[in-house]
């Protein structure tokens, strides 16, 4: 499942903080380690965003561009 959202504002990417998840690592070791869900945040214009996201998210960008065009 994928949740996608858009927002308008002047957001500081240096203030983004990640949640963590636990994973048994190394596999079958019995040791749980915590890893960040994201390693960085960035904002892109639409043409650049199309090259950065997974192909299944492109339709969202298309709908967003249509919505913003009014």
Q: Which H/E stretch holds residue 46?
A: helix 46-52
Instruction: Indicate if the pLDDT at residue 7 is higher than 90.
Output: no
Query: Is 53 a member of any domain?
Result: yes
φ, ψ of residue 18 in degrees (nearest 5): -95, 150
Which residues constitute the domain of residue 65? 41-70
Q: Global pTM? A: 0.65
pLDDT of 67:
94
Q: What percent of the chain has pLDDT over 90?
A: 66
From residue 55, give the alpha-carbon distance in Å to each of 8, 23, 27, 50, 51.
23, 27, 30, 8, 9
Question: Comparing 5 with 22, which gets the higher pLDDT?
Answer: 22
Query: Is 3 a member of any domain?
Result: no
Query: Is 69 a member of any domain?
Result: yes
């Amino acid at each position: 499942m994928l949740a996608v959202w858009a927002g308008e504002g002047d957001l500081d990417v240096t203030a983004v903080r990640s949640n963590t998840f636990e994973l048994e690592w190394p596999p079958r070791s019995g040791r749980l380690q915590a890893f960040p869900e994201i390693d960085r945040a960035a904002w892109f214009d639409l043409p650049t965003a199309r090259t950065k996201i997974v192909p299944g998210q492109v339709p969202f960008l298309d709908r967003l561009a249509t919505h913003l065009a009014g």
